[in-house]
Amino acid sequence: MLLFLLHDLPEGLSPHELAERAGVTRATITGLLDGLERDGFLARHGDMEDRRRVSVRLTAKGKAKTRNLFNEHTRWIGSLFAGLSPMERDMISDLLRRVWQNTDAGSMQSAAVAAGVAP
């Protein structure tokens, strides 16, 4: 999850932002980050202007692992829908879209669309 959260963010995120987005405590995130950093998937970077601030970013190894995981996950999700007819896939897609709109991310996108700032 942490690798996916960092994937499209070259500037990274702070540990507390990662904890928030992953739905874990700050204490838990420290242990998770320690393990991922030890394994070479991410690095912590200090802020040049404010030494108290830390940004967590993927390393090249982390980016490669994230791409591989994403591709595997995409294939797995695709296999779940392989036995459905086009009409059934459209129906489930519509239902999942409606469920997603009830999440924080869906609500934020709906508000952005209503305000004319998102596609």
CA angle 93, 22, 27 (to 5 degrees): 165
Residues 27-49 pLDDT 10s = 899 999 999 999 999 999 987 77
pTM here?
A: 0.67
For residue 116, the Cα-to-chain-centroid distance in whole angstroms is: 25
Residues 52-108 pLDDT 10s = 788 999 999 999 999 999 999 999 988 988 899 999 999 998 999 999 888 876 565
Domains and CATH numbers, the chain: 2-80 (1.10.10.10), 84-119 (no CATH)
The pLDDT mean for the chain works out to 86
